[in-house]
Chain A
Amino acid sequence: MSAPGGGDLAARQAELVAALVAGGPLPAGFAPAPVDAARRALLRKRAGDVARHWPLLAAGLGDAWPATFAGWADGRPTNGSLRDGWDLARELHRRGELPRLGAEELAVREAASRYDGATPPRPRRLPALARAGGAVAVRLAGRVRLLRPARR
Chain B
Amino acid sequence: MTGPGPTGVGIGWRPEIAGFVAELPGLRFVEVVAEAVAPHGPPPPGLAALVERGVTVVPHGVKLSLGGAEPVDPARVAHLARVAELVGAPLVSEHIAFVRAGGLEAGHLLPLPRSREAVAAVVANVRRAQADLPVPLALEPIAALFDWPDDELDEADFLTEILDATGATLLLDIANVHANARNRGADPLALLDRLPLDRVAYVHVAGGAEQGGFYHDTHTDPVPPVVLDLIGELCARHRPPALLLERDGRWPPAPALRAELDAIAAASGYPAVT
Contact surface of A with B, Cβ cutoff 8 Å: 4-7, 9-18, 20-22, 28-31, 33-35, 37-38, 40-42, 45-46, 48-49, 52, 77-78, 80
Contacts and interface: CB of A to CB of B under 8 A. Distances in A.
Given A21-B106, A45-B107, A29 B101 contact: no
A9 B149 contact: no
B216 interface: yes
Interface stretch (B47-55, B108-116, B132-140, B170-178): B108-116
Contact of B148 (A6, A21, A30): A30
B107 A46 contact: yes
A42 B117 contact: no
Contact of A10 (B69, B149, B150): B69
A46 B107 CA distance: 7
Contacts of A22: 104
Nearest to B68: A13
A152 to B, nearest CB: 29
30 contacts: A4-B113, A4-B115, A5-B116, A5-B150, A7-B117, A9-B115, A10-B68, A10-B101, A10-B102, A11-B102, A14-B101, A14-B102, A14-B104, A17-B100, A17-B110, A20-B106, A20-B110, A21-B105, A21-B106, A21-B107, A34-B145, A35-B146, A37-B145, A37-B214, A38-B145, A42-B107, A42-B108, A45-B108, A46-B107, A77-B105
B249 interface: yes
A3 to B, nearest CB: 8
A136 B101 CA distance: 40
Contacts, number: 99
Interface string B118-142: 1001000000000000000000000
A4 B150 contact: yes
B175 to A, nearest CB: 15
B162 to A, nearest CB: 15
A42 B69 contact: no
A9 B104 CA distance: 15
A7 B115 CA distance: 11
A38 B146 contact: yes
Contacts of B213: 33, 37
Given A13-B101, A16-B101, A17-B102, A78 B146 contact: no
A80 B106 CA distance: 11
Interface in B138-176: 144-150, 152
Contacts of A34: 145-147, 183, 214
A9 B152 contact: no
Contacts of B118: 9
Contacts of A11: 102
B212 interface: yes
A31 B121 CA distance: 24
Contacts of A78: 105, 107
Given A16-B101, A48-B220, A9 B107 contact: no
A11 B117 CA distance: 13
A7 B98 CA distance: 17
Contact of B146 (A5, A9, A30): A30
A10 B101 CA distance: 7
Contacts of B106: 17, 20-21, 42
Contacts of A52: 249
A42 B146 CA distance: 13
A85 B214 CA distance: 28
A37 to B, nearest CB: 5
A31 to B, nearest CB: 6
B212 A37 contact: yes
A29 B117 contact: no
A63 to B, nearest CB: 14
B146 A37 contact: yes
A29 B147 CA distance: 10
Contacts of B113: 4, 9, 12
Nearest to A80: B105
